Chains A and B, each alone.
Chain A
Amino acid sequence: MTYTILGRCARTGRLGIGIATFSITVGRYARSVRSMTGVVISQAFPNENNNQIALRLLDQGFSAKATLEHLKTNDAFYTYRQIGVIDRTGSAVGYTGPAVRGWCGEVVGENYVASGNGLVGQHVVEAIAKGFLAEPDADLEHRLLMGIEAGRDAGGQGTADLHRTERSAALLVHSRDPYPDIDLRVDLHEKAVDELRRVWTEYKQYEGYYRRRGEHPRGAPSQESFMAALQRAQ
């Protein structure tokens, strides 16, 4: 049980993933973005090696489609995997193996893959795609979060009779740097998507401050004085 949006911003080339699931600490698996290279996810029964292999293949210049073919021939349990790949050109592919459980599938378009398994139905992945596409000019992290929230609001994980809550979630976006622009997680929570929104709303206020503090430490205000200024502005 998981639902995921992989996305690329056509305007900036930024790449990212938003993911929510019943499993705990999903962010451990979802470190699957590489700057200017691609974004991937191997979920359902996740072959953990797949994410790193796929990123290396993309880095070597393989397309999203060719990368997926390599993962297929390399994995004895391929039919248990659900995989999405976007390369740096925005070409996207998705695969859902026949052994994946519950309702499972994906919607794939240029620059995005909305996918999930153990979901209440196809409308969840359709809602994720719609949420992601709603504001194409907005920052990628906002669009990914909109996608995940739309998946939650469409019913998320479970069956027609039984809803399964999201216990962990993550949001990861890379730009040009060799480290992420945005890397936020909720590892263990009874409403992880709601909590991810709270974490993002809090973090967003500090984002520029943290960046400037590292790049220009001389005379950087203390975090307390930054927070006091924040409060005065509100």
Chain B
Amino acid sequence: MTFSLIGRCARTGRLGLGITTYSLAVGGRCEGVAANIGVCKTQAFPNRTNDPLGIKLLAQGYQPKHVMEMFAINDTEHDYRQIAIMDRDGHIAAHTGPGCRGWAGHKEGEDCVAFGNGLVGPQVLDGMIKGFLENPGDALEYRLMRAIEGGRDAGGQGTPDAHRPERSAAIKVVDRRDFPDVDVRVDVHPTAVAELRRVLEEFKLYEEFYRGRDTDPSKAIPQDVFAKELEAKRRVRA
């Protein structure tokens, strides 16, 4: 049981993944997000070697569809995997093996592919794509967040009789640097998507401060001072 969306910002070329699932610590199984190369995510019964291998293959210049064929050859249990691949130009390949359980499928949208298994139905994928496309001018991390929320609001994981909560969630976005711009996670929580929204919003408040502290520490103010200024602004707004 998982629902995810990989996407690309056509304006900036940034790439990212938004994911949530019933399993714990899903963000610790998302190695396949690489700046200026592409995104590769294997889920359902995941072959952990797929994603690092997929990134290496994309970096060599192979198309996502060809990478998927290589996965099929390389893996005796390919039928149990659910995989989505996107390269830096937005080319897509997706696979939902017949061994994936519950309602499972994938769907392409503009600059994105939504995929999931153990879901209440195809409306979850539609909800994700709708969320992703809602505000195309937004930063990619917000569009991924809206995608996950759209999937959740469309019913998410489970069956018509039994809903399964999201217990972990993650968003990863890469730009030009070889580490993520945005990398936020919730590892164990009863409503992980709502908690991820809280973490993302807080992170966005600190993002520029953390970047400035890195690139020119001689001008950095102490974090306590920055945090106090944030609190003051919050009080003014409230």
Which residues does chain B contribute within 8 Å of A49, judged by CB atoms? 177-179
- A187 in contact with B203 given A217-B77, A217-B99 (CB within 8 Å): yes
Closest 4 CB pairs of A and B: A183-B28, A217-B45, A45-B217, A217-B80
Asked if A27 lies at the interface with its beta carbon under 8 angstroms from chain B, I say yes
Of B84-92, B127-135, B181-189, the one contacting chain A is: B181-189
Task: With CB as the reference atom, state the residue of chain A lying closest to B1.
Answer: A223
Which residues does chain A contribute within 8 Å of B1, judged by CB atoms? 223
What band does the interface of chain B fall in when counting residues whose beta carbon is under 8 Å from A?
35 or more
The reply to whether A179 and B52 contact each other, CB–CB distance below 8 Å, is yes
Asked if A182 lies at the interface with its beta carbon under 8 angstroms from chain B, I say yes
What band does the interface of chain A fall in when counting residues whose beta carbon is under 8 Å from B?
35 or more
Cβ-neighbour of A52 out of B77, B101, B179 (below 8 A) = B179
- A46 in contact with B214 given A101-B222, A214-B48 (CB within 8 Å): yes
The reply to whether B180 and A28 contact each other, CB–CB distance below 8 Å, is yes
A-B contact pairs, 7 of them (CB 8 A): A48-B177, A178-B52, A180-B31, A183-B25, A187-B185, A187-B186, A218-B77
Which residues does chain A contribute within 8 Å of B179, judged by CB atoms? 28-29, 31, 48-49, 51-52
Q: In the complex, A25→B206 CA distance in Å?
A: 10
Asked if A24 lies at the interface with its beta carbon under 8 angstroms from chain B, I say yes
Whole-angstrom distance from the CB of A54 to the nearest CB of chain B? 12
Q: In the complex, A44→B17 CA distance in Å?
A: 29
Asked if A199 lies at the interface with its beta carbon under 8 angstroms from chain B, I say yes
Q: In the complex, A193→B179 CA distance in Å?
A: 24
Asked if A213 lies at the interface with its beta carbon under 8 angstroms from chain B, I say yes
- Convert A178-208 into 0s and 1s, putting 1 for each residue whose CB lies closer than 8 angstroms to a CB of B: 1110111111100000000011001100100
